[in-house]
Structure 1
């Protein structure tokens, strides 16, 4: 596929990529999330391109042709100065800042220059820096945060937080993917906030699971109390939602869909033990979970199979267990069609 050969600048100009990042288009989102799972070695470049596009937005200011080279010179000088301070910021600036020879970048030049200058100034004022943690498909990682709170990252997940936290300010982290948080309670009631594209999860000390996959955020509370502030567009600020142990809240800012249900929290955090638990779960949902946690794609030849349910445990390091159980219980045939692709047929 041609996207395999894309540079970061190519991604930024791709219409479907822009629809995913800027418009949260459902079709584009599904395509790019599946593409990243199928091409994990390109994930870093895709995420960098996504960050740049989010920063640039839909900039419409077009500098004159004479201003272009000077503007890029300012950007490069700012980046060079920033790197020499040894204080990297939220964005990795250098991947797309080589020698700019194409004038298609000129519409963004002034915007990027302003951003670069602001970031450089901030780096010189603040002594802290952002820490980034990331896992690949098949990799789990346990992180100890500055306050000794513990975060366990599921596969294909990224986490960002400050190297140092001010005791008088909220403790904040940003997550993409899935993670389990065990937050330490602070005597001064210092808040802990998990930022996702759909909501802010606020706690003081508790344990909960956060999943931001598939254009929505799902929070499952194991113990303690959690308050959610939803990111709603054009409808004013909604009242915070207070969760109790056993609650599961799922919300999408893109569709404004909100669901609330009672669940067994252990089911939703079982991935920490490299296993997935299911109870009367539709096969279609099991397949989505395997795609997210194992990185495989399963095609159902008959739509009716997706409505069948599955109860059991699937080791994430041995998905063949699931196929054997499914073959016997539903009388189906599982065929491996590629490195990470399978097809299920009714016998």
Structure 2
């Protein structure tokens, strides 16, 4: 059967598709991105298939019979054992998510009704697929030693963005040069992690265990929601709520703010300055869509952003004009093209040598 005729079920069962979504298969990535471009009518089915695959290990049984319910419990147990033995979290590059996300708004409307009709049939199919996956786990994994609480540190190097699925099913989209730290498996009463850098969180709903993101003196608490946190060294902290509801607390200022979608908080890590703000989602989440935006940014700040974005080092061969600010929007552009665009307005020459970019400003 041609992949152009695939249904959601066919995508889930296709080994190449699963390798792309779950194993970060490099060869498959190029094929499926080309497929998305050639078959936009399949975006909705691919988006749904991807979501179901990623969440397979965290799905709870909703089947009627006791036998199927037991099967789901066994799947969950075996998946947990496998994760403990490997000591790793599923990591999917942002590329596959971003390719689908470009069509997200249109796809959501088309998928919503289709999901309700297909849910029952797909759930049974996923049960069978999960059963096969569980049976493939080797006996050695079942005999693994008891898990001792340990600290997990997950980091996206400069020039790389990552998508991380946590043990509770929450998804973290980690910007380059950022990292999260937490106790593996969390606790029975709390899901607490520390962020350095920038990340977007899709929090799995669990009222019995609040989800808290700690960044410097600011804590953001959510039960089930989606929000962005920006907290790079030397920059103001920004929390932006996209869906749901969060409570933001400042240990330093002794303040708290409950947010609804479209609202955010901007705080200075060095003082007690604190304000509630409205934000533009397209700007705040531009990094997730491979878009760089500079709005009257000092050249030093713009340079730091370029270093993190592309994993390079900027070397200034003479002084940066202190009054120089840059503006511009670059969608999925190369470093060469961005530097070329900025050089016209900022009057500098540049050369790229490996991972170093040499910049000299004109007199």
Say if 2:220 is the partner of 1:201: yes
Report the alpha carbon displacement of residue 156 of structure 1 after superposing the two structures with TM. Answer: 1.9
Which runs of 5 or more residues in structure 2 are unaligned?
1-84, 88-145
Match of 1:135 in 2: 156
Q: Is the 8 A contact 1:198 1:252 kept in 2?
A: no
Which among 274, 293, 302 is matched to residue 258 of structure 1?
A: 274
Which among 148, 151, 156 is matched to residue 169 of structure 2?
A: 148
Which among 350, 355, 361 is matched to residue 335 of structure 1?
A: 350
Say if 2:192 is the partner of 1:161: no
What's the TM-score once normalised by structure 2's chain length? Answer: 0.51
Cα shift readout 1:309-336 (whole Å, capped 9, x = no counterpart): 41311547x22222222234x2623223
Cα shift readout 1:195-243 (whole Å, capped 9, x = no counterpart): 11121111111111112212443222222222111121xxxx6231122
CA RMSD of aligned residues (A): 3.1
Report the alpha carbon displacement of residue 148 of structure 1 after superposing the two structures with TM. Answer: 0.4
Match of 1:51 in 2: none
Match of 2:237 in 1: 217
Q: Cα 1:288–1:263, aligned 2, differ >3 Å: closer, same or farther?
A: farther
Cα shift readout 1:247-299 (whole Å, capped 9, x = no counterpart): 34232333333344322123222222333234555555433422343343364
What's the TM-score once normalised by structure 1's chain length? Answer: 0.53
- Which whole-Å CA distance do the structure 2 matches of 1:251 and 1:298 have between them? 31
Match of 2:198 in 1: 178
Q: Is the 8 A contact 2:291 2:329 kept in 1?
A: no
Report the alpha carbon displacement of residue 144 of structure 1 after superposing the two structures with TM. Answer: 0.8
Q: Cα 1:181–1:282, aligned 2, differ >3 Å: closer, same or farther?
A: same
Q: Is the 8 A contact 2:160 2:309 kept in 1?
A: no
- Which whole-Å CA distance do the structure 1 matches of 2:214 and 2:166 have between them? 15
Match of 2:35 in 1: none
Instruction: Report how many residues are paired.
Output: 216
Match of 2:321 in 1: 303
Q: Cα 1:229–1:296, aligned 2, differ >3 Å: closer, same or farther?
A: same
Report the alpha carbon displacement of residue 183 of structure 1 after superposing the two structures with TM. Answer: 0.8
- Which whole-Å CA distance do the structure 2 matches of 1:209 and 1:283 have between them? 24
- Which whole-Å CA distance do the structure 1 matches of 2:346 and 2:298 have between them? 16
Paired residue secondary structure (2:201): strand
- Which whole-Å CA distance do the structure 2 matches of 1:146 and 1:337 have between them? 41
Paired residue secondary structure (2:341): helix
Q: Is the 8 A contact 1:135 1:158 kept in 2?
A: yes
Report the alpha carbon displacement of residue 337 of structure 1 after superposing the two structures with TM. Answer: 7.8
- Which whole-Å CA distance do the structure 2 matches of 1:189 and 1:217 have between them? 28
Kindly report structure 1 stretches of 4+ aligned residues shifted beyond 6 Å: none
